[in-house]
């Protein structure tokens, strides 16, 4: 036996490429959180990563312990100061990212880098706590690809592989392996996803801090609030009608009803939300049934087509016809609604509600009040006539615009007499103010208006930019009547959708092929929401019952899960094996091609015939080409049975010579 010496400690230093790959994977996972991380924190992370890479490139590998501690403390302090605490969804993710960045500062071994990559997987997953949309999912998949490719780079390479351009972080082989593994994992992931039993109630608390990340309609309305949404093209909800959809001008999606005005901000009324039983809707037209898939808002209210006949399941409908879900909508929610476009809403107005509908701040906006009084003396207390006066005035001398200067201390006055241009919320606010000042009960309704029809998917996509505010006035004998003052200024806003109202000829995404591409993209997003994000224990149960599996029978489910998972893996292994076997030896391929060409000339190589014998036979049969044939066979034998390492160049040369060989 040979002497046994203790193996020399394998050098565990991190090669440059592996370091860079790890850094990029970490960067990717941090960028997954870019939308909700505070800008200062995000730029601190990017700065530190950049600094680390630059320092290591310059040869400064070690960063002193006290410096690292300082960085860690500074980052924690930044998290606390920007996010307020150390717990909860945002702060937790930010803290995790901060820890990873600090860890990377000291990562000089493969072991360190592997720890970083393991936590990167968790950070990538945490991104789904904020957004489960398809785009986020696609980006997360890309980060996983980088993570696996970085793991590939971390596996110690042999000497010849290690000699690579130092700036290249990922080898194409590594990216290929990572992509292959992820692609082949899809069947397994789907099987587990649909069969794995879900928890009926959480083991520990769900993240409570809700709204910060999401943009959307808030529960108050002040000048400029909705205008911020005008450029947000993301989908707020998707609607599929059972039958014929109502015409565009009828597509008002009722959300919130706002009653209280403090001179600047409109708020909802807690007073009315308790009076669910008193709502009274007299349906006068056909019932319209539809199904809505609402993207998460982290708010409790739901949107329904005006005017809803009843609450969706698990929701309530208040006296002013606001639908509220039992819990905040933290992941996509699907619900059914029934509405009617022709209705009479609350033809009897209780005293309390009437007072609420006439409430105005004690002082402020004197010119608007004076104008309302002036109108009242002109046409009396006929609500319709008063409304017509207001709308006519809007129509004649007002314009519709995103760019509204900041309004001063009397915003209604400023809007009505100075600026004279604005966005739907300005009109709704001013109109309701004028009506109340003239003695007509009025309220503001916030929701969506419009919806873009997706041809490929046969549904309407309502975007956040479709957010809208309108008003309702109460008329004796008719109840609450919807009046949209924006329609008086810019009728096309109502007949088409929000952005189109500004851009002649439709938006860029509604032109030609782009429209269909965008439709399809949105459709895929819809499918993703329907199939993945929305999947629940209830859907799982019905799905499994369809294929005859009883979800309550644990053994049955376990067997199904195990069997399907093994099947999925076997399928993946089979596909993976098939693909690999095709990649063959280039020399053998070239030799076979050449043999085929000789076979066309009548010289067929016997299966057991060696290249030498075959060459001699061919040379004898084709004396004119004997030299060329012998040269090629000798060359092939020399390459095939080489005793020294054969370079790729020699094989290529032989192939070119074989191709140049002509029988004529």
Q: In the window 299-338, what residues touch another protein (CB under 8 A)?
A: 331
- The residue count for binding another protein (CB under 8 A) is 79
Give whichever of 6 and 351 is closer to another protein, judged by the CB atom.
Answer: 6
Nearest distance in Å: CB 428, another protein? 37
Establish if 649 lies at the interface with another protein (CB under 8 A): no
The verdict on whether 484 is a catalytic residue reads yes
Strand (E) or helix (H) holding 283: strand 281-283
CB of 35 to another protein, least distance (A): 15
Q: Which is nearer to another protein, 197 or 263 (CB)?
A: 197
User: Residues near 142 by Cβ (< 8 Å), separated by ≥ 6?
Assistant: 28
Q: Which is nearer to another protein, 282 or 652 (CB)?
A: 652
Q: Is 572 in the site for another protein (CB under 8 A)?
A: yes
**In this complex, which beta carbon is closest to another protein, that of residue 500 or of residue 534?**
534
Closest CB to another protein among 350 and 647? 647
The 10 Å CB-count burial string (b at 16+, else e) for 439-478 is ebbbbbbbbbbbbbebeebebbbbbbbbbbbbbbbbbeee
The answer for residues whose C-beta is within 8 angstroms of residue 468's C-beta and 6 or more apart is 226, 252, 424, 446, 447, 448, 449, 450, 486, 498
Collapse the DSSP code of 289 into the 3-class scheme (helix H, G, I; strand E, B; otherwise coil) and give the result: strand
Residues 118-137 that bind another protein (CB under 8 A): 118-119, 121-122, 124-125, 128-129, 132, 136-137
CA angle in degrees (0–180, nearest 5) for 77-80-82: 105
Taking the complex as a whole, how short is the minimal distance between the CB of residue 174 and another protein, in angstroms?
Answer: 8
638 binds another protein (CB under 8 A): no
Measuring CA to CA, how many Å separate 289 from each of 142, 241, 321, 363? 40, 6, 17, 45
494 binds another protein (CB under 8 A): no
Query: Shortest distance, CB of residue 18 to another protein, whole angstroms?
Result: 10
Distance from C-alpha of 170 to C-alpha of 322, rounded to nearest angstrom: 54
Residue of 320, 413, 426, 468 with catalytic role = 468
Smallest separation, CB 235 to another protein (Å): 16
The Cα 139–Cα 127 span in angstroms is 10
Provide the β-strand partners of residue 444.
258, 471
Q: Which residues face 447 on adjacent strands? A: 254, 468
> Which residue in the block uniquely carries the two structure tokens 């002013």?
320
Tell me the window of 202-210, 246-254, 469-477, 511-519 that interacts with another protein (CB under 8 A).
202-210
Is 247 a binding residue for another protein by CB under 8 A? The answer is: no
Piece of 80-88, 203-211, 338-346, 409-417 that binds another protein (CB under 8 A): 203-211
**Interacting residue with another protein among 262, 478, 585, 609 (CB under 8 A):** 585
560: left (phi over 0), alpha (psi -120 to 50) or beta: alpha
Question: Which is closer to another protein, CB of 122 or CB of 527?
Answer: 122
Which of 131, 410, 413, 424 is labelled catalytic?
424
**Region 592-631 residues binding another protein, contact defined as CB under 8 A:** none
Q: Nearest Cα to 312, choosing from 336, 289, 339, 283?
A: 336
Name which position in 74, 76, 249, 532 contacts another protein (CB under 8 A).
532
CA dihedral (638, 643, 645, 651) in degrees, to 10, reads: 10
- Residue 85 backbone dihedrals phi, psi, to 5 degrees: -150, -170
Q: Which of 466, 484, 519, 522 is catalytic?
A: 484
Dist. CA 212–CA 209, nearest whole Å: 8
Q: What is the DSSP letter of 250?
A: G
Pick the closest to residue 24 from 139, 173, 170 (CA basis). 170
Contacts 24+ apart (CB under 8 A), 140-143: 140/32, 141/182, 142/28, 143/25, 143/28, 143/29, 143/32
Q: Interface with another protein includes 568 (CB under 8 A)? A: yes
- Interactions with another protein, residue window 43-82 (CB under 8 A): none
The least CB distance from residue 122 to another protein, in Å, is 6
Give the separation between CA 159 and CA 144, rounded to whole angstroms.
Answer: 27
Beta carbon of residue 227, minimum distance to another protein (angstroms, whole number): 31
Pick the closer one to another protein by CB: 196 or 508.
196
Residue 406 makes contact with another protein by CB under 8 A: no
94-113 binders of another protein (CB under 8 A): 111
**Interface pick for another protein out of 53, 55, 142, 569 (rule CB under 8 A):** 569
Nearest distance in Å: CB 206, another protein? 6
Strand-pair category, 315-317 with 266-268: unpaired
Rounded least distance, CB 576 to another protein, Å: 7
535 binds another protein (CB under 8 A): yes
Choose the stretch contacting another protein; rule: CB under 8 A; options: 198-206, 237-245, 309-317, 373-381: 198-206
- Quote the CA–CA distance of 548 and 527 in Å, as a whole number: 25
Nearest to another protein of 153, 484 (CB atom): 153
Q: Which of residues 129-188 bind another protein (CB under 8 A)?
A: 129, 132, 136-137, 140-141, 144, 148, 151-152, 154-161, 173-174, 177-178, 180-182, 184-188
> What is the rounded CA–CA span in Å between residue 331 and residue 533?
7
Give whichever of 169 and 618 is closer to another protein, judged by the CB atom.
169
Cβ distance to another protein smaller for residue 595 or 604: 595
Residues 344-363 that bind another protein (CB under 8 A): none
Q: CA-to-CA distance for 478 and 343, rounded, in angstroms?
A: 9
Q: How far is the CB of 275 from another protein (least distance, A)?
A: 33
Residue 24 found at the interface with another protein (CB under 8 A): no
234 binds another protein (CB under 8 A): no
**424 tagged catalytic:** yes
- Contact (CB, 8 A) for 482 and 435: no
Cα 523–Cα 496–Cα 133 angle in degrees, nearest 5: 25
C-beta closer to another protein: residue 1 or 165: 1
What is each CA distance from 613 to 92, 599, 609, in whole angstroms? 74, 15, 6
Active site residues: 424, 468, 484
């Amino acid at each position: 036996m040979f002497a046994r010496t203790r193996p020399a400690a394998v050098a565990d230093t991190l090669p440059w490429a592996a370091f860079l790959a790890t850094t990029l994977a970490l960067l990717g996972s941090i960028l997954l959180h870019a939308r909700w991380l505070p800008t200062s924190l995000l730029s601190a992370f990017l700065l530190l990563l950049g600094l680390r890479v630059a320092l290591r490139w310059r040869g400064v590998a070690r960063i002193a312990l006290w410096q690292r501690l300082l960085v860690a403390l500074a980052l924690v302090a930044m998290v606390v100061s920007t996010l307020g605490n150390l717990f909860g969804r945002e702060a937790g993710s930010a803290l995790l990212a901060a820890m990873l960045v600090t860890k990377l500062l000291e990562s000089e071994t493969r072991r360190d880098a592997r720890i970083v990559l393991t936590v990167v997987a968790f950070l990538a997953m945490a991104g789904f706590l904020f957004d489960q949309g398809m785009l986020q999912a696609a980006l997360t998949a890309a980060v996983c690809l980088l993570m696996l490719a970085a793991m590939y780079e971390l596996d110690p390479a042999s000497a010849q592989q290690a000699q690579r351009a130092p700036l290249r972080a990922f080898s194409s082989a590594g990216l290929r392996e990572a992509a292959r593994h992820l692609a082949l994992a899809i069947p397994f992931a789907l099987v587990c996803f649909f069969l794995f039993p879900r928890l009926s109630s959480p083991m520990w608390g769900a993240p409570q801090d809700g709204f910060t990340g999401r943009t959307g309609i808030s529960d108050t309305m002040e000048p400029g609030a909705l205008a911020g949404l005008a450029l947000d093209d993301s989908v707020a909800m998707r609607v599929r009608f059972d039958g014929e959809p109502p015409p565009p001008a009828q597509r008002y999606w009722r959300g919130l009803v706002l009653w209280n005005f403090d001179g600047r901000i409109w708020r909802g009324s807690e007073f009315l939300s308790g009076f669910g039983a008193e709502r009274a809707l007299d349906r006068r037209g056909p019932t319209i049934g539809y199904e809505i898939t609402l993207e998460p808002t982290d708010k409790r209210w739901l949107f329904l087509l005006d005017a809803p006949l009843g609450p969706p399941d698990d929701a309530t409908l208040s006296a002013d016809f606001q639908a509220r879900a039992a819990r905040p909508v933290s992941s996509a929610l699907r619900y059914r609604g029934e509405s009617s476009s022709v209705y009479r809403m609350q033809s009897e107005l209780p005293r309390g509600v009437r007072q609420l509908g006439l409430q105005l701040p004690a002082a402020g906006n004197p010119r608007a009040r004076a104008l309302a009084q002036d109108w009242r003396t002109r046409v009396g207390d006929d609500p319709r006539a008063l409304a017509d006066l207001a709308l006519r005035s809007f129509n004649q001398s007002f314009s519709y615009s995103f760019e509204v200067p900041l309004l001063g201390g009397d915003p209604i006055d400023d809007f009505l007499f100075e600026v004279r241009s604005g966005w739907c919320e300005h009109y709704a606010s001013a109109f309701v103010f004028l009506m109340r000042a003239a003695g007509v009960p009025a309220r503001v309704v916030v929701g969506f208006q419009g919806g873009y029809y997706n041809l490929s998917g046969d549904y309407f996509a309502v975007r956040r930019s479709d957010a809208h505010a309108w008003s309702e006035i109460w008329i004796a004998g008719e109840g609450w009547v919807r009046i949209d003052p924006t329609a008086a200024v810019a009728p096309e806003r109502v007949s088409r959708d929000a952005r189109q109202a500004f851009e002649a000829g439709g938006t860029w995404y509604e032109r030609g092929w782009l429209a269909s591409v965008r439709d399809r993209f949105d459709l895929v997003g819809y499918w993703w929401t329907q199939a993945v994000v929305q999947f629940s224990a209830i859907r799982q149960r019905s799905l499994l019952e369809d294929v005859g599996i009883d979800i309550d029978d644990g053994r049955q489910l376990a067997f199904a899960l195990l069997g399907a998972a093994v099947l999925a893996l076997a399928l993946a292994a089979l596909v993976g094996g098939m693909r690999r076997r095709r990649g063959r030896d280039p020399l053998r391929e070239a030799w076979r091609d050449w043999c085929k060409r000789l076979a066309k000339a009548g010289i067929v190589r016997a299966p057991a015939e060696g290249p030498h014998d075959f060459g001699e036979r061919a040379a004898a049969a084709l004396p004119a080409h004997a030299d060329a044939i012998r040269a090629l066979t000798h060359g092939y034998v020399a390459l095939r049975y080489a005793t020294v390492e054969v370079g790729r160049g020699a094989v290529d040369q032989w192939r070119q010579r074989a191709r140049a060989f002509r029988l004529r």
